[in-house]
Structure 1
């Protein structure tokens, strides 16, 4: 039987055989092969291949009536992204079966991924998965199956105007306890841009004013929100990716964050284009107020896959670029320094010789040569002596010209 003669039956994808995970981008070609290794000659039928990709969601909700459960409602939905079929080994047209000899047999395959695909994802109430499945049909035996999953990563380039735009917000809250007004807490926060990639550091600029009579504690965190949609109903799951805590702010005091660093850990990218599954991120700046609820300020984030370009980025503001462009002005002194005396630069014998008029024999020799040589000789004549007294003062009888006339 083939079951006893089949030693190996597996799928190999390019990029995964060298120890690297098999990851692809939308629109890319998936290349691989089905490996069939037999210990002895065996009869085989068709060898078919199928590539699938889909997003699925499922969860249940119980409705209680008093102390007992009234009913349980299930929600589920599915979106198919990829469906490809191929026959790698077809049976002969005369109705006979194919006999494969002992040894290793490889059946290559290739298929193109669609241009629009959601990133692979595993969540509590849903997933986005891609896989390749091969089926080997055998005479008088069950179908032998093998499955190989692969990852798809949708490229999200943060070098776009929408994701490079700064994000800012402000909120305030009136602290109350037992109907007593304890004052107001306000927070203003800003980040350089909306799009980031894992491993980057988000500099947070914030001002927290504590006008209450108690100390408060500011915090910042990156929140991941998974949204699952089925039959018009949404199910959400929120989790904290990373967080930092600031120093306690005393009553009536203010604290300023001058770019407090918050590093993004390795997380999956945002999923925004799938109809039934969405993965979103946000930066939350909150203030813990004793005796009342927290003050929350939320700024949207997008976790991308293509990092910020080192050149030509628009993260710096126009004002910072303007200040950098004018840095050279600070090196100009308020009072210009007078140039040195010519005698201080050139020794006196050389100066006298240079300032002396040329004799006729020398001038004649120069004029006999090319005219350009004379011009060059004139160019290197020494400059006049510097003096702070105008050698040609204006005459008293000459009326200065009015510039407005």
Structure 2
């Protein structure tokens, strides 16, 4: 059998980019090797380069409940080539001798707006290079290698480096009495960040109530999965980082705070160019009130592979407290 005769399959890429990443239109070249323990007849050796997205989830189930399954598929490209094949005139298989065999290859990823590689809870976007070795009267032996594909985001848009700001307020009521408001004004230095970069958040809090409030921050990853034609949707929120600041006492005004949130080095890039998988990020800054609802400001951000320099934020005077959060 083929499993007993082929050993030590290995594929090596000629990649100049850091982290062995690939992009649209790039040439993929290298060589693959394998060892044969005995003389072997080969019908053909072929290569397949495929990019696709797939989602799947299910609902229901249990007693007297029908389980429903939802899925979606998108194929971006599916290219095939033959490395070695039998004699087309005689139909005679190629006979390979025992020992090490090496075959170079070159193929090209098509030009296109393809999404970044990603694996989520209910779906994935993957790019695969498959080498298939076929023998007469045997099932094909496939060796699959995943390519780390990156889709570049155009960071020349001014809105990606412009600061974001938001504000919110609420009043606590007890019977016919209403306290002075609790207010928050929050700014983020820009919209686009890279994995491993620290997000600087500038906050101004005022607590006019008689209760103590506590500031919090969260970095959320939002995964959204669609079936084809987007008839059905499934969402999943993942907390990548969170922290709690110092309490703000009652009747305290003009508390100026700077928070630092680290984008994890392992964070996937934002995905908005896939019809069935969307990956986005939100920074949530909130004030937690004892026995009351949270006061919250949300900032959608983009995680990309190219550093973006922010515009200068205006200086805000007043009492200053710098909070450095620990994350879980």
Per the normalisation by structure 1, the TM-score is: 0.70
Q: What are the equivalent positions in structure 2 for 1:94-113 lying under 5 Å apart?
A: 94-113=90-109
- For residues 114-170 of structure 1, what are the alpha-carbon distances to aligned partners after superposition, in whole Å with 9 as ceiling and x for unaligned? 332211111111111111112111123332221111211112354531201111111
Distance 2:271 2:206 in 1: 36
Contact 2:34/2:102 (8 A) holds in 1: yes
Q: Per-residue deviation at 1:47?
A: 0.9
- Residue 217 of structure 1 pairs with residue 196 of structure 2: no
Distance 1:207 1:96 in 2: 79
Query: Please, which of 20, 23, 40 is the counterpart of residue 22 of structure 1?
Result: 20
The SS at the match of 1:212 is coil
Contact 1:177/1:292 (8 A) holds in 2: no
- Residue 88 of structure 1 pairs with residue 83 of structure 2: yes
Q: Per-residue deviation at 1:3?
A: 4.8
RMSD: 2.5
- Residue 165 of structure 1 pairs with residue 162 of structure 2: yes
Matched residue, 1:264: 263
Q: What are the equivalent positions in structure 2 for 1:122-141 lying under 5 Å apart?
A: 122-141=119-138
More strand by share: 2
- Residue 238 of structure 1 pairs with residue 233 of structure 2: no
Change (3 A) 1:293 1:104: same
More helix by share: 1
Matched residue, 1:297: 297
Matched residue, 1:48: 46
Q: Per-residue deviation at 1:314?
A: 5.4
Q: Per-residue deviation at 1:183?
A: 4.6
Change (3 A) 1:31 1:244: same
The SS at the match of 1:247 is strand
Change (3 A) 1:158 1:257: farther
Contact 1:175/1:289 (8 A) holds in 2: no
Contact 1:177/1:291 (8 A) holds in 2: no
- Residue 78 of structure 1 pairs with residue 73 of structure 2: yes
The SS at the match of 2:74 is strand
Change (3 A) 1:292 1:3: closer
The SS at the match of 2:160 is helix
Distance 2:36 2:310 in 1: 60
The SS at the match of 1:162 is helix
Q: Which ranges of structure 2 fall in alignment gaps of 5 or more residues? A: 316-328
Q: Per-residue deviation at 1:190?
A: 0.8
Matched residue, 1:365: none
Q: Per-residue deviation at 1:257?
A: 3.2
Change (3 A) 1:194 1:75: same
Q: Which ranges of structure 1 fall in alignment gaps of 5 or more residues? A: 321-405
The SS at the match of 2:159 is helix
Matched residue, 1:114: 110
Matched residue, 1:381: none
Distance 2:187 2:197 in 1: 17
Matched residue, 2:224: 227
Matched residue, 1:282: 282
Matched residue, 1:273: 273
Distance 2:34 2:243 in 1: 53
